[in-house]
């Protein structure tokens, strides 16, 4: 039952366990196929939806401008948002860290003598490992998003931000449901979904507290916007008597007009839908004349390392993220290894940037910046134009500056610097390289070598160094090139006449 519990133990080995987890993921045939299939599907959907919407670049510019304006004036908008929530009778709690947020939640739970919490999908609750803490307090927390529910039964963590259980197949799900219920289930989607609907319905009805995240807070109205396809978010924010929201402090837009922009962009970027099935704006608890809806609304606003990015010329923009996961779907690294490899709540390029920043941990989490090819696909896919690829380079830089890279690596780069900074040494090194490689070369290729060369040759061949280096050939090449250019110009000039 502890999606959070497992993540808590993983957190300590984000960097040092990365290689091991990568190996595991690469060896898992089903996972790799499922991840590739899902990310392709989502990516294609996104491209189609963008096309249909028209002038996507104009939308991106507008989305980015809105997020930038909001974050640059976050003190104003957050204050306005909180004031409006309380004006409507909601309670607001500002929490600087995860433990603060957890204890605030427990306080609300205790006051309501809560034994059962029905959870809508909330990444922030995973970030603070809330399930783990609830379990310790003997409060049952039920994940009600179908994918999250499956993972909770399997005691696993999400492998994708939007479709969390992509690594599970029907047979595994049927087995999980059979174990949980004592009934036998065939691995058929319809049957499994029907069981989940019935089972989870009772949790919605019985829960003491409904917990959700918040996709966007609207400052001018104090509304909590919930975006989802299943309806579980509506259930947990409608049926239990108490609704608790946990949200990152940056998840705001100034007005409902701005909300229109980000909602349209979120759905299209995340799943390729024009709009998710349910978009709900919760503005305060139920009103006196309402015959349903929660009697209490509590909004926990979390900092947890986010404010550290404010004012940072390089990283402030990471707070523009709207959690659509488009960057995951296009990332060549994510597409091969899936989300578990990252060992964190947030995976993919955004996870690799966000995790070290909000955890302020360059040693372990900072290693994730190497789980990237720096190709920039994430930036191109990002609806808010966050330059994730640049940030990844800056994180690597930061790690090096802090002397957090391995000693052999530092020595290697030091020598590299010395050799490449001195022409005599450089010439000597290329010559020596040519002769030293000889015992390893077979047919013009190095097919296996000792460490650290083996890191390369384990999976592919390395072409041998040529006898005459590029530098040595440069003089001849220049002449050749000059000759070509003059004849080329003549030919062009001739045809123009």
Partner 1 sequence: MSTGQQGTMRGKDDFMRNISSRLGRREPLAEAPSRPFIGVPDFYRDRTRTQDELIDEFIQSWTALSGKTLVIDEAEAPQAVEAYIRQLAGDLGIKRISRWDHEGLEKLGFDQSLNEAGIEVVTWREGGADHIELEGLPTGQDGNWAKRSHLLHAAEQCRLGVVWPDCAIANTSTLALFSQGGKGRSVSLLTEAIVAVFRADQIVYRMGEAFALFKKQYPNVAEMPSSLNLITGPSRSADIENDLTIGIHGPGKVHAIILK
Restricting to residues 412-431, which ones interact with partner 1 according to CB under 8 A?
A: none
Instruction: Locate all alpha helices (DSSP H) within 73-222, ordered by sequence.
Output: 74-87, 98-111, 123-127, 130-136, 146-154, 170-181, 189-206
**254: phi then psi, degrees, rounded to nearest 5:** -65, -45
Considering the complex, what minimum distance in angstroms separates the CB of residue 325 from partner 1?
A: 13
Q: How far apart are the first and last CA of the chain?
A: 80
- Per CB under 8 A, the list member of 62, 394, 427, 431 interacting with partner 1 is 62
Considering the complex, what minimum distance in angstroms separates the CB of residue 227 from partner 1?
A: 9
3-state secondary structure of 113: coil
Question: Rule CB under 8 A: which of 80-119 touch partner 1?
Answer: 82-96, 104
429-456: b or e for each residue (b if 16 or more CB lie within 10 Å)? Answer: bbeeebeeeeebbeeeebeebeeeeeee
Give, as one character, the DSSP assignment of residue 465. Answer: P
Give residues with Cβ within 8 angstroms of 487, minimum separation 6.
none
- Per CB under 8 A, the list member of 291, 406, 407, 496 interacting with partner 1 is 291
- Per CB under 8 A, the list member of 2, 15, 18, 59 interacting with partner 1 is 59
Question: Rule CB under 8 A: which of 312-341 touch partner 1?
Answer: none
Name the residue among 213, 193, 197 with its Cα closest to residue 205.
Answer: 197
Residue placing its CB nearer to partner 1 in the complex, 309 or 372: 309
Considering the complex, what minimum distance in angstroms separates the CB of residue 390 from partner 1?
A: 21
Residue placing its CB nearer to partner 1 in the complex, 319 or 353: 319
- Per CB under 8 A, the list member of 9, 16, 48, 72 interacting with partner 1 is 72
Considering the complex, what minimum distance in angstroms separates the CB of residue 338 from partner 1?
A: 14
Considering the complex, what minimum distance in angstroms separates the CB of residue 474 from partner 1?
A: 50
- Per CB under 8 A, the list member of 126, 127, 143, 145 interacting with partner 1 is 145
In this structure, are residues 88 and 113 in contact, taking their beta carbons and an 8 Å threshold? no
- Per CB under 8 A, the list member of 32, 201, 336, 427 interacting with partner 1 is 201
C-alpha angle with apex 266: 40 to 294, nearest 5 degrees? 125
Percent of residues in the chain assigned helix, strand, coil, to nearest 5: 55, 10, 35
What is the contact mask toward partner 1 in residues 7 to 46, using x (rule: CB under 8 A)? ---------------------------x--xx--x-----
Considering the complex, what minimum distance in angstroms separates the CB of residue 372 from partner 1?
A: 26
Considering the complex, what minimum distance in angstroms separates the CB of residue 167 from partner 1?
A: 10
Considering the complex, what minimum distance in angstroms separates the CB of residue 317 from partner 1?
A: 14
Give the Cα separation of 163 and 37 in Å (integer): 12
Give, as one character, the DSSP assignment of residue 286. Answer: -
Considering the complex, what minimum distance in angstroms separates the CB of residue 141 from partner 1?
A: 16
> Is position 68 an interface residue for partner 1 (rule: CB under 8 A)?
no
In this structure, are residues 240 and 210 in contact, taking their beta carbons and an 8 Å threshold? yes
Residue placing its CB nearer to partner 1 in the complex, 147 or 366: 147
Residue placing its CB nearer to partner 1 in the complex, 253 or 352: 253
Handedness of CA 365, 367, 370, 376 (dihedral sign): positive
How many residues bind partner 1 (CB under 8 A)? The answer is: 115
Residue placing its CB nearer to partner 1 in the complex, 18 or 239: 239
Question: Rule CB under 8 A: which of 435-494 touch partner 1?
Answer: none
Question: Rule CB under 8 A: which of 165-194 touch partner 1?
Answer: 165-166, 168-170, 173, 189-190, 192-193
Instruction: Locate all alpha helices (DSSP H) within 297-406, ordered by sequence.
Output: 326-330, 332-337, 348-359, 377-381, 388-401
Residue 123 token pair: 């990444």
CB atoms within 10 A of CB 253: 26
In this structure, are residues 177 and 185 in contact, taking their beta carbons and an 8 Å threshold? yes
> Is position 293 an interface residue for partner 1 (rule: CB under 8 A)?
yes
Considering the complex, what minimum distance in angstroms separates the CB of residue 460 from partner 1?
A: 32
In this structure, are residues 160 and 9 in contact, taking their beta carbons and an 8 Å threshold? no
Considering the complex, what minimum distance in angstroms separates the CB of residue 243 from partner 1?
A: 10
What residues are paired with 212 via a beta bridge? 245
Burial class (CB in 10 A: 0-12, 13-18, 19+), 208: middle
Listed ranges 72-80, 330-338, 407-415, 458-466: which one lies at the site for partner 1 (CB under 8 A): 72-80
> Is position 242 an interface residue for partner 1 (rule: CB under 8 A)?
no
Residue placing its CB nearer to partner 1 in the complex, 156 or 220: 220
> Is position 58 an interface residue for partner 1 (rule: CB under 8 A)?
yes
Question: Rule CB under 8 A: which of 261-290 touch partner 1?
Answer: 261, 263-264, 273-290
What residues are paired with 246 via a beta bridge? 300
CB atoms within 10 A of CB 401: 10
- Per CB under 8 A, the list member of 44, 48, 99, 255 interacting with partner 1 is 255
């Amino acid at each position: 039952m502890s999606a959070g519990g497992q993540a808590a133990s993983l957190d300590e080995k984000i960097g040092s366990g990365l290689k091991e987890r990568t190996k595991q993921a690469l060896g898992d045939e089903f996972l790799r196929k499922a991840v590739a299939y899902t990310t392709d599907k989502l990516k294609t959907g996104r491209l189609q939806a963008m096309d249909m919407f028209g002038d996507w670049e104009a939308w991106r510019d507008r989305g980015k401008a809105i997020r930038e304006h909001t974050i640059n004036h976050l003190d104003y908008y957050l204050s306005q948002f909180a004031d409006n929530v309380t004006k409507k009778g909601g309670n607001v709690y500002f929490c600087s860290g995860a433990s603060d947020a957890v204890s605030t939640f427990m306080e609300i739970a205790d006051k309501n003598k809560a034994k059962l919490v029905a959870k809508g999908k909330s990444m922030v609750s995973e970030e603070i490992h809330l399930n783990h803490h609830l379990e310790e307090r003997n409060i049952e927390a039920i994940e009600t998003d179908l994918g999250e529910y499956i993972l909770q039964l399997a005691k696993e963590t999400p492998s994708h931000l939007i479709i969390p259980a992509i690594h599970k197949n029907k047979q595994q799900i049927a087995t999980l449901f059979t174990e949980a219920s004592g009934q036998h289930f065939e691995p058929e989607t319809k049957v499994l979904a029907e069981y989940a609907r019935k089972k989870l319905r009772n949790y919605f009805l019985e829960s003491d507290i409904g917990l959700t995240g918040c996709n966007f807070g609207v400052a001018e109205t104090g509304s909590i916007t919930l975006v989802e396809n299943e309806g579980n978010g509506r259930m947990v924010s409608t049926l239990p008597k108490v609704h608790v929201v946990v949200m990152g402090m940056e998840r705001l837009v100034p007005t409902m007009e701005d909300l229109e922009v980000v909602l349209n962009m979120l759905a299209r970027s995340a799943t390729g839908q024009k709009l998710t099935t349910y978009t709900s704006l919760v503005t305060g608890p139920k009103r006196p004349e309402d015959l349903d809806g929660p009697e209490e609304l509590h909004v926990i606003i979390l900092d947890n390392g986010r404010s550290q990015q404010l004012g940072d010329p390089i990283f402030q923009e990471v707070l523009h993220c709207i959690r659509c996961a488009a960057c995951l779907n296009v990332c060549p690294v994510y597409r091969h290894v899936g989300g578990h490899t990252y060992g964190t709540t947030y995976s993919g390029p955004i996870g690799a940037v966000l995790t070290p920043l909000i955890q302020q941990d360059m040693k372990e989490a900072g290693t994730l910046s190497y789980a990237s090819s720096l190709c920039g696909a994430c930036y191109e896919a990002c609806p808010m134009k966050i330059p994730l690829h640049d940030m990844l380079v800056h994180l690597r830089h930061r790690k090096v500056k802090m002397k957090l890279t391995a000693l052999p690596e530092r020595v290697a780069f030091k020598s590299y610097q010395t050799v490449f900074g001195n022409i005599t040494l450089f010439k000597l090194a290329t010559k020596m390289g040519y002769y030293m490689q000889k015992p390893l070369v077979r047919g013009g290729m190095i097919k296996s070598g000792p460490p650290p060369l083996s890191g390369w040759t384990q999976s592919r061949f390395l072409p041998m160094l040529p006898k005459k280096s590029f530098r040595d050939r440069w003089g001849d090449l220049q002449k050749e090139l000059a000759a070509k250019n003059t004849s080329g110009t003549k030919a062009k000039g001739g045809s123009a006449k």
